[in-house]
Amino acid sequence: MLRVLVLLGLAAVMVNGDQYCCSAEDRHIVQDQWDHIWTDTESSQVRVTLGREILLALAKEYAEVNDLFKDVDIAHPEGGKFSAHALRIINAIDFNINLLDDPEALDAALDHLADQHKVRTGVKKVHFQKIGEILNNVLIHVLDNYNALAWKACFKGILGKISSKLQA
C-alpha cells in the first residue's frame, strides 16, 4: 500500500512537474501585469501596435517569416489585413494568459493553436523561441513593473506547447 502511495505521489509530481515553472504566484503576476495593457478603452490601438512590433521584429530576425505572413500582407504592416492579424496574435496571447488559472482548458486551447500552426509549412520552433525573446523585450518597455522571471516561466510552457507539433 505504502509503495503504491509513494508511486502515486511520484507520478503526481511528474505530472505536475512543469507547473512549478509557472507557479500560481507567477500566473497572478503575469495576469495582473497584462491587465495594465488591456483595460484601457483605446487598448485596441496599443494591442495592434504591440502585435505588429512583435511580428515585424520576428521577420527582421528571420527573413523567411515574411513569406509565411504574405497572405496577411506583411508588406503593408499598417494596412487593414496585417493590423487585424496583429490583433489576432495579441488576442491569442491574451486568451492564454486568461486561461492560466484553468490548466485543462489552457491545454486544450494550446493544443488547438499547435494544430493551427502545424499545417503552416515553414513555421519553426526557433520562431517561437524568438517570439519569447521579443515579447520579453517589448514588455520591458511597456510595463512599469515587468517581472521577467514570472513571464519567462509561464511563456516557456505556452510557446513550447504551441510549437510542440512542428517538425523543425
Partner 1 sequence: MKVLVFVVALMAVALADEECDTLTRLKVKAQWIEAYSHGAARHAFAQAIWRAMFKLSPDSLDLFKRVHASKEADHPEFIAHANRVLAGLDISISLLDQPEALKAELEHLQDQHKERHIPDEYYENFGKALLHVLPAQLGRCWDKEAWSHCYDFIVHGIRGH
- Residue numbers of the site for partner 1 (CB under 8 A)? 31, 35, 38-41, 43-45, 47-48, 79-81, 83-85, 87-88, 91-92, 94-95, 98-99, 101-102, 104-109, 112
- Kindly tell me which of 81 and 156 has the beta carbon lying closer to partner 1: 81
C-beta of residue 136 within 8 angstroms of C-beta of residue 148: yes
Taking alpha carbons only, the member of 159, 30, 51, 34 closest to residue 59 is 51
CB of 46 to partner 1, least distance (A): 10
42 phi/psi in degrees, rounded to 5: -90, 15
Taking the complex as a whole, the smallest distance from the CB of residue 49 to partner 1 amounts, in Å, to: 12
Contact 126, 62 (CB under 8 A): yes
- 127 assigned to a ligand binding site: no
By C-beta, is 97 or 130 nearer to partner 1? Answer: 97
Q: How far is the CB of 23 from partner 1 (least distance, A)?
A: 16
Return the C-alpha cell found at 44: 485596441
Cell numbers given for 61: 530576425
Residue 85, φ and ψ in degrees, nearest 5: -65, -40
As a whole number of angstroms, the distance between CA 72 and CA 84 comes to: 9
CB of 55 to partner 1, least distance (A): 14
CB nearer to partner 1: give 25 or 101: 101
Q: Which is nearer to partner 1, 12 or 108 (CB)?
A: 108
Binding-site sequence positions for heme b? 117
